[in-house]
Structure 1
Amino acid sequence: MPPLLLLLLLFLFLSPPSSLSLNQEGLYLLRVKQGLSDPNESLSSWNDRDDSPCNWFGISCDPSTRRVNSVDLPSSQLAGPFPSFLCRLPSVSRLSLFNNSINTSLSADISACRNLQHLNLSQNLLVGALPDGLSQIPTLRKLDLSGNNFSGGIPASFGEFPSLESLLLYDNLLDGEIPSFLGNVSTLRELLLAYNPLSPSRIPSEIGNLTSLENLWLAGCNLVGEIPASLSRLSHLKNLDLSMNRLSGAIPSSITELTSVVQVELYNNSLSGELPRGMSNLTALRRFDASMNQLTGTIPDELCELPLESLNLFDNRLEGTLPGGIARSPNLYELKLFNNKLSGELPSRLGENSPLQRIDVSYNVFGGEIPGNLCRKGVLEDLVMIYNSFSGKLPENLGKCRSLSRVRLKHNKLSGTVPEQFWGLPRVYLLDLVDNNLSGPISSKVSGAYNMSTLLISKNRFSGLIPNELGSLGNLVEISASDNQLTGQIPESLVKLSQLGRLDLSRNEISGEIPVGIKAWKKLNELNLANNRLSGEIPSEIGSLSGLNYLDLSGNSLSGEIPTELQNLKLNSLNLSNNRLSGDLPPLYANENYENSFVGNPGLCGDLPDLCPRVGGSKDLKYIWILRSIFVLAAIVFLVGIVGFYLKHQTFKKNKKGIAISKWRSFHKLSFSELDIVQCLDEDNVIGSGASGKVYKVVLGNGEEVAVKKLWGRGAKKYEEGSVEPERGEFEAEVETLGKIRHKNIVRLWCCCNSGDCELLVYEYMPNGSLGDLLHSSKGGMLDWPTRYKIALDAAEGLSYLHHDCVPPIVHRDVKSNNILLDGEFGAKVADFGVAKVVCGVNKDAESMSVIAGSCGYIAPEYGYTLRVNEKSDIYSFGVVILELVTGRIPVDPEFGEKDLVKWIFATLDHKGLEHVIDPKLDVVHKEEIGRLLNIGLLCTNSLPINRPSMRKVVKMIQEASSDNQSKSGRKDGKLSPYYYYEDASDQGSTV
């Protein structure tokens, strides 16, 4: 044979097989690939050069027959309609497309998947009705369609599944009622229908027919009426969750027949009556939560004798005492009973035999001493007992509890000295002993509490010197020690506390001078040293504290002149009265707005009443001459004002502005007039134009800068694409909300004007504009990671103030990067409260809105279909802002396809890792800290509202995410500690 022919035959023999050699199942899968968008090239291994698809990504085959038996493609960023060609694979028993972007409706063709046992299409974008044909798949055991947009009712055919064990339909848009025919599917072991906007309906008694059921999750289904007694027949049930509904009546005694139940969740309903007797039958019970109901009576001893891991009965109306049996629970690690009317003493052996980690019995009528063995097992983290009548001393053993991280004992009757070691517990970040009868000194051992951020010891009888060691606690944000008997000088070491935001030492016996070097308190918002024995002069350094809003030095013996540097401050409150100050008032404060700020200073002169009184001869003549001068000057000003007003009125008419000066309303002490504002509202000063109007930058005559938002006239409002018109006037909402808010991380509203045709809002000017504009522009490189971290923390503290510290709480409803403004030092402040909502009501439950408010990419999933607004919606939106800071990307980007930023991050993390998510502008040296903040953002954007932490918890998590705090707390792995979303009463806000 010629050599050339031999080489040709050899080449043909060794060549890879052609597409004709790929078997039929492979060809079907290639058709699937053609019908899907695959931006990550997850299906790149699917090609026609193989003879079988068994080695392709996501494909598994039976080892003997080589037929495809599983298609598993989770989190692959696949998009497009459901690929019906998958149902032509005759042996496929498992099909999972979890967490992709499969869209359109699910056709009836899926019934052709005759051998399917496991079908998982959860967390996609499927719409329309649930397909009837699913029940025709005879082998189907698990059906998971959760986290989609299915609507309509549950079809009658769903009562005909022959062998279905798991039916997961939670987190969709299903309406109607829970159908009774589901009781016909006797093989069911899991029935999860939670978080669907169902019509108000009862739990069908037929559910009791599902005797194999192990998991029943009906949370947030708009259920009403009583819990049916038929549930007692669910002898295999392990998890019963009926929370967040409107169930009423008593907890049925039949519930005690659920001998296999491990967890019972009944919180946030309207249940009444007493806890049922016979709960000692529930020998497997580990967690029982009947919080936020209207229960009465006492806690049965038998419940407390169970091996509980968690008992939550807070926010009920329970009356009576806490039985001693609860102390005998060997596995009790969490005891929360706050917001009840429980009385008596806590069991003396509580914590002695159980690894107690968290105890919260706040807002009850408990008395007696705090049990001494709460930390016997050495794992107690949270000790919260505020608003009770506990008495006696703090137990010595608590001073040895090095696991403690949060201590809140406010408003009790505790007395005696605090154990020395208790002051220096290393993990405590919050120590709240306010309003007791505690005495003795603050121990120098406080230096050991290096994690302390908040120290609250006001309204006690603490005495002695403030220890120098307090200045070594670099994490301190707040010190409140007012209304005690502290003596000596303010330690100079306190000026080292650069994170300090509030210092209140008022109503003590502190003497000496205000220490030098306080200019380091750049973040100080409140300084209250009133009613002490301070002497010397007021330091001019106070004028450099740009964030200071409240300054009270009254009731001391301060002397000398008032520093003119104080005019640099933008104070909401100033009180220098009852000192020994002298000289002339600084010009900024020589007006009636400050008439009560300087009284009781005999040597202080100015035009305010009760200042610098004059008597006798020439002084009287001089006084008369001054009065005449004032009258002449006033007449001149009056004439000039009339002329100016006339000219301005003509200008108004010409420009059709029609602003009525008489309509102005101020919320702070102003150093400018209305005319200063209106004369600068021309197009040359426009710095922004948005959904509701224009924003002007106005430079006042004194050099101060303000921002003025001029809203479009009524009936002529415009709304940007992606936004929805609010249900009430933006002007009224903004004024109602911002007019009463005072916080360093909330933008200040100076004043407003409403003349009908024109609405003006005057804010403090933020030189660096909005976070969104800066982050997503060419200037994004200016925001290095430390700056972004600071912005996240500032904004979180602002939102936490709205949710937890405002009474009633305020929900912003339009949290986004464009509504977070940056000052000259890139400090962040939350702005734009045009659609904010005050949350009212006894239980502060989620409140329904008539329309959606918010911006595309930031709206929480549940808000889009329930129209129920609470803090959890804000938390989701803030989570998106965190993800923006980490990635540098906008929330909705064409590059994501039909996904948003949240889903894009999940998919990218699964396939490529953290480095492909982080903004390339950021320095990789901060990778671990960035990763920790990313985790917080993902927690906040959890699709289920109940799984999102409160804003108070978010602030704490962000603080702990700092690399500095990680190293100080001894963490080496870069991981966050676990967080729990059931918090004490003061943390609840109006969230669950």
Structure 2
Amino acid sequence: MLLFLLPFLFLLSPSPSFSLNQEGLYLHQVKLSLSDPDSTLSSWSDRDTTPCSWFGVSCDPKTNSVTSIDLSNSNIGGPFPSLLCRLQNLTSISFYNNSVNDNLPLDISSCQHLQHLDLAQNYLTGTLPHTLADLPNLRYLDLTGNNFSGDIPESFGRFQKLEAISLVYNLFDGIIPAFLGNITTLKMLNLSYNPFSPGRIPPELGNLTNLEILWLTECNLVGEIPDSLGRLKNLKDLDVAVNNLVGNIPISLTELTSVFQIELYNNSLTGELPRGLGNLTSLRLLDASMNDLTGPIPDELCRLPLESLNLYENQFEGNLPASIANSPRLYELRLFRNRLTGELPQNLGKNSPLRWLDVSSNKFTGEIPATLCAKGELEEMLMIYNSFSGQIPQSLSDCQSLARVRLGHNQLSGEVPSGFWGLPHVYLVELVNNSFSGPIAKTIASAANLSLLILDNNLFNGSIPEEIGWLENLGSFSGSENEFSGPLPVSIVNLKQLGSLDLHGNLLSGELPSGIDSWKKMNELNLANNEFSGQIPEGIGKLPVLNYLDLSSNRFSGKIPLSLQNLKLNQLNLSYNRLSGEIPPLFAKEMYRSSFLGNPGLCGDIEGLCDGRGKGKGEGGAWLLKSIFILAALVLVIGVVWFYFKYRTFKNARAIDKSKWILMSFHKLGFSEYEILASLDEDNVIGSGSSGKVYKVVLSNGEAVAVKKLWGGVKKEGDESDVEKGQFQDDGFEAEVETLGKIRHKNIVKLWCCCTTRDCKLLVYEYMPNGSLGDLLHGSKGGLLDWPTRYKILLDAAEGLSYLHHDCVPPIVHRDVKSNNILLDGDFGARVADFGVAKVVDSTTGKPKSMSIIAGSCGYIAPEYAYTLRVNEKSDIYSFGVVILELVTRKLPVDPELGEKDLVKWVCTTLDQKGVDHVIDPKLDSCFKEEICKVLNIGIHCTSPLPVNRPSMRRVVKMLQEVVPENMPKTAKKDGKLTPYYYEDASDHGNEA
């Protein structure tokens, strides 16, 4: 009987899921609707009676009713769960920094009690729902860092209690609407970093009398700053920087008596600073830099309790008011690139914790104030391009906080204080173009952080101390045109980070120390115009990234090491030494003639470098007759060859152009345009596209070059190439020449020269035997590319792009980064190529010049580019991220195999649903899985939909370098090194270091 009743007793017993209250059931359904890869919501169990103990859930202690949901930084995804609005007492929702996606639903208006809504840093798209304004109690709305687009809804003018709204970093493209001036309850209005259409600051914003923060940075604002903003008596922070505002700064802003921060930088404001700034008794920060402001800096401004004053890149004149030294809180003073004169106040820094000082590029005179570091907090002292005189104050020897010192291009003199050489935190010391004298003190051994030491064009003397070899972080040492003497210290070979050593124009002597081959990051070595002797060390030929070598005007003797042929040099100069013997075969060419002048003992196949000394008279006469016969034979042979090539060139020229060719070279050439033209026949075509054809041309010296032939005019309809869609070929040619003609980097393809006629243009590049990464990766041999090789290619390409973004002045945006534009040499070293649509960043605005059409390749184009036609370095980073995913998966960016998804979406979806093993190319060895996964994560990071979330290219290089596999075969490394050194430009504001 008992057995018979057991099933019924079980049915009557309460189920665990039935014990959870109604609000818990709603939240459990929300959990099921969200993706939760980190199991953040594991505590949301249907075995509880209420959700009040669940992660992120807060309840009223009396009623146990849910009042707040906070799932910030939880790595959850999926559409916004409207079901939350059924929680009748819910007042706060925060999904900050997650992967909430899709549109924000219209029925969010049913959250009638909601006061706080934070959905910042997610992936929400589409237009803002107009129903948000129907939330009667909403006080705080933060939608920063999403992909919302279109206009701000007109209904937003009806908010009843809204106090804070932030729409920063979205894709809104209308204008800033005047109806926002109707939300009189607002205390914070943040609309920065949106691609709004050009528009004025609405004068109606002056109605927001409760406003405390107005943030309109980079909103494409035009016109003048409206006087009505002076009515915002409660305003504490005014930021309208990085726009196109013009006219004077309105005097009404001097009525903002509560303001503590005003940022007007990077506009086109004119006139003088308005009188009455002394009324702003709360002002702590004023930044009006990068405008066209004139006149003197008013004394009343300097009497305010300023902490930061930035007025750089204007046209201010006159003396700096002495009262600036009395500001008790001043920690930042930046006045560079103005027309200021006179002396700096001699007690500057005595009464304030001065941390950053930059008065570069003015007309200041007098001595450096001895009190600059009186409070012991000075970190940056930048005073280049002035007329300062006298010595470096002894007091600065005790400034332990100093990190950057730039005193170049002044009239400073005397010895540098001993303690100044050994400051422990300084990483940049630049004293170039002064009259400093004396030696480098041995105390430099204490400068453990020193990375850049630049001493050119002074009167420094004495020997370079042995202690300089103790500076493990030293990457660049430049001391040219001084009076240094004695040998190089033996310890200098211990500088593993050294990438540039320039000591030309000194009195250095002796032999070069052994062990030079330890400089694996050396890029530039210039020891010209000294008194060095002995033989040129073989080890120089083992420096893997050296591309500039100048040992001219010394006393080197013996033979030229054959190992120098291993180097890929842009500059070689061994002239005016005492070298002898045969010139290495690779250098025995006319193009290297000037590299070997002034070495009487050298012989080679270069005319004039072997004079036949030491022969007897009879032998000399026989040699003369023999020479005449040889010369006659050569003339005959050359004549026949010349006639053959002229005839062949004539035939080809008829097919190309009968007009005269103009040659423009960017490097020393060992060939002429006629030799190129003679080989442009169909047998030598190695590639073709809508822009023309690419030929492989083998020169008479045995070397090969690649020639791209571009025909003038617009691309034909139906062409498959997507590199310059809708562009004229002339534009691509000009961009390629303008960009590549100036660049010197081992990971950027070298442009030898260009040849032009009226109708045809030729670009001559170095030949890359392994073709493009795209062709190799997706061709029949793609599966043979092992992981170490793929990793090396990625790192090389990343360093090339990093050079474009960070080391070129101005920076260059490639705009068409893809695997087909990454070329591979014989050792699978990568070069970034095809700059036909590259854009130089405008030096005045910091932005690339305007675009009228989308350039780039399908599958590689960043999402914001398609919306806004605005492109910057972040667009290149997205494209490079796609290349990373391409190398890891060996799948095309757009492929029928992926369905309707592109590669980025396919990778993200497959990772979520199936795991990483279904993403990685199965041809890759599983022993590298950990490293591959790290690189895959970098690719995903680079392809973030939000530009602000993508790392800089310099950061990408750093992340890739941190993934160097320990078990990578040494054969995959070049000379055992995968991370070549690049000189980080020490200059600021475009001034050369």
Change (3 A) 1:429 1:783: farther
Change (3 A) 1:119 1:809: closer
Three-state SS of the structure 1 residue aligned to 2:341 is strand
Code of the aligned partner of 2:503:
L
**Corresponding residue of 2:853:** 851
Three-state SS of the structure 1 residue aligned to 2:397 is helix
- Residues 685 and 698 of structure 1 are in contact (CA less than 8 Å); yes or no, is this contact kept in structure 2? no
Change (3 A) 1:363 1:254: same
- 1: distance between equivalents of 2:886 and 2:300? 51
- 1: distance between equivalents of 2:76 and 2:633? 81
Map 1:34-53 → 2, pairs under 5 A: none
**Corresponding residue of 1:342:** 340
- 2: distance between equivalents of 1:529 and 1:825? 30
Moved more, 610-619 or 881-890: 881-890
Map 1:321-400 → 2, pairs under 5 A: 321-400=319-398
Code of the aligned partner of 2:568:
K
Q: What is the percentage of aligned positions where both structures have the same residue?
A: 55
- 2: distance between equivalents of 1:39 and 1:948? 22
Flag structure 1 segments of 5+ consecutive residues without an equivalent: 964-982
- 1: distance between equivalents of 2:326 and 2:906? 46
Three-state SS of the structure 2 residue aligned to 1:536 is strand
Compute the displacement of 1:188 (Å). 0.4
Compute the displacement of 1:936 (Å). 13
- 2: distance between equivalents of 1:396 and 1:954? 42
- Residues 123 and 148 of structure 1 are in contact (CA less than 8 Å); yes or no, is this contact kept in structure 2? yes
- 2: distance between equivalents of 1:310 and 1:163? 35
Code of the aligned partner of 2:637:
I
Compute the displacement of 1:956 (Å). 9.5
Compute the displacement of 1:876 (Å). 6.7
**Corresponding residue of 1:968:** none
Moved more, 501-510 or 281-290: 281-290
- 2: distance between equivalents of 1:403 and 1:882? 40
Code of the aligned partner of 1:810:
I
Change (3 A) 1:791 1:871: closer
Compute the displacement of 1:417 (Å). 0.4
- Residues 78 and 99 of structure 2 are in contact (CA less than 8 Å); yes or no, is this contact kept in structure 1? yes
Compute the displacement of 1:232 (Å). 2.0
Code of the aligned partner of 1:218:
L
- 1: distance between equivalents of 2:344 and 2:964? 38
Pick aligned residue for 2:437 from 436, 439, 442 = 439
Code of the aligned partner of 2:196:
L
Three-state SS of the structure 2 residue aligned to 1:135 is helix
- Residues 309 and 332 of structure 1 are in contact (CA less than 8 Å); yes or no, is this contact kept in structure 2? yes
2:765 corresponds to 1:762: yes
- 2: distance between equivalents of 1:537 and 1:984? 33
Code of the aligned partner of 1:625:
K
- 2: distance between equivalents of 1:73 and 1:898? 29
**Corresponding residue of 2:970:** none
Three-state SS of the structure 2 residue aligned to 1:736 is helix
Map 1:729-768 → 2, pairs under 5 A: 729-751=731-753, 761-763=764-766, 765=768
Three-state SS of the structure 1 residue aligned to 2:117 is strand
2:806 corresponds to 1:800: yes
Compute the displacement of 1:815 (Å). 4.7
Three-state SS of the structure 1 residue aligned to 2:388 is strand
Three-state SS of the structure 2 residue aligned to 1:848 is coil
**Corresponding residue of 2:591:** 593
Code of the aligned partner of 1:667:
F
**Corresponding residue of 2:232:** 234
Three-state SS of the structure 2 residue aligned to 1:438 is strand
Code of the aligned partner of 1:743:
H
Three-state SS of the structure 1 residue aligned to 2:419 is helix
- 2: distance between equivalents of 1:301 and 1:922? 68
Code of the aligned partner of 1:501:
G
2:160 corresponds to 1:162: yes
- The alignment's TM-score, normalised by the length of structure 1, stands at 0.82
- Residues 747 and 764 of structure 1 are in contact (CA less than 8 Å); yes or no, is this contact kept in structure 2? no
**Corresponding residue of 2:405:** 407
- Residues 875 and 941 of structure 1 are in contact (CA less than 8 Å); yes or no, is this contact kept in structure 2? no
Moved more, 881-890 or 541-550: 881-890
Change (3 A) 1:98 1:777: farther
**Corresponding residue of 2:973:** none
Code of the aligned partner of 1:801:
D
Code of the aligned partner of 2:457:
K
Moved more, 22-31 or 220-229: 22-31
Three-state SS of the structure 2 residue aligned to 1:403 is coil
**Corresponding residue of 1:969:** none
Compute the displacement of 1:30 (Å). 6.2
- 2: distance between equivalents of 1:819 and 1:93? 53
- Residues 191 and 216 of structure 2 are in contact (CA less than 8 Å); yes or no, is this contact kept in structure 1? yes
Compute the displacement of 1:692 (Å). 7.3
Code of the aligned partner of 2:537:
P
- 2: distance between equivalents of 1:885 and 1:354? 54
- 2: distance between equivalents of 1:285 and 1:825? 60
Number of residues of Structure 1 aligned to a counterpart in Structure 2:
955
- 2: distance between equivalents of 1:473 and 1:410? 22
Change (3 A) 1:303 1:814: farther
Three-state SS of the structure 1 residue aligned to 2:309 is strand
- Residues 694 and 708 of structure 2 are in contact (CA less than 8 Å); yes or no, is this contact kept in structure 1? yes
Compute the displacement of 1:226 (Å). 1.9
Three-state SS of the structure 2 residue aligned to 1:503 is strand
Flag structure 2 segments of 5+ consecutive residues without an equivalent: 966-983
- The alignment's TM-score, normalised by the length of structure 2, stands at 0.81
**Corresponding residue of 1:971:** none
**Corresponding residue of 1:284:** 282
Change (3 A) 1:817 1:715: closer
2:788 corresponds to 1:782: yes
- Residues 307 and 329 of structure 1 are in contact (CA less than 8 Å); yes or no, is this contact kept in structure 2? yes
- 1: distance between equivalents of 2:890 and 2:96? 27
Three-state SS of the structure 2 residue aligned to 1:343 is strand
- Residues 652 and 677 of structure 2 are in contact (CA less than 8 Å); yes or no, is this contact kept in structure 1? no
- 2: distance between equivalents of 1:693 and 1:43? 57
- 2: distance between equivalents of 1:48 and 1:896? 38
Three-state SS of the structure 1 residue aligned to 2:594 is coil
Map 1:566-605 → 2, pairs under 5 A: 566-605=564-603
- 2: distance between equivalents of 1:95 and 1:887? 38
Change (3 A) 1:403 1:953: farther
**Corresponding residue of 1:214:** 212
Compute the displacement of 1:959 (Å). 9.8
Map 1:551-566 → 2, pairs under 5 A: 551-566=549-564
Change (3 A) 1:333 1:649: same
Three-state SS of the structure 2 residue aligned to 1:596 is helix
- 2: distance between equivalents of 1:587 and 1:571? 15
Residue by residue over 1:114-164, the C-alpha shift from the partner in whole angstroms, topping out at 9 and shown as x without a partner, is: 222223344444444433332222111122333334343333322221111
Three-state SS of the structure 2 residue aligned to 1:782 is helix
- Residues 747 and 829 of structure 1 are in contact (CA less than 8 Å); yes or no, is this contact kept in structure 2? yes
Compute the displacement of 1:681 (Å). 9.8
2:490 corresponds to 1:489: no
Map 1:826-865 → 2, pairs under 5 A: 829-840=831-842, 842-843=844-845, 845-854=847-856, 863-865=865-867
Three-state SS of the structure 1 residue aligned to 2:180 is helix
Moved more, 74-83 or 157-166: 74-83
Change (3 A) 1:647 1:786: closer
**Corresponding residue of 1:16:** 15
**Corresponding residue of 2:3:** 4
- 1: distance between equivalents of 2:813 and 2:202? 35
Change (3 A) 1:323 1:923: farther
Three-state SS of the structure 2 residue aligned to 1:318 is strand
Map 1:132-143 → 2, pairs under 5 A: 132-143=130-141
Three-state SS of the structure 1 residue aligned to 2:453 is strand
Three-state SS of the structure 1 residue aligned to 2:192 is coil
**Corresponding residue of 2:623:** 622
Code of the aligned partner of 2:397:
G
Pick aligned residue for 1:480 from 469, 478, 481 = 478
Change (3 A) 1:799 1:246: closer
2:435 corresponds to 1:429: no
**Corresponding residue of 1:194:** 192
Query: What is the RMSD computed on CA atoms of the aligned residues?
Result: 5.1
Change (3 A) 1:820 1:363: farther
Pick aligned residue for 1:113 from 106, 111, 124 = 111
Residue by residue over 1:81-139, the C-alpha shift from the partner in whole angstroms, topping out at 9 and shown as x without a partner, is: 55444434433322344445555544543333322222334444444443333222211
- 2: distance between equivalents of 1:673 and 1:117? 75
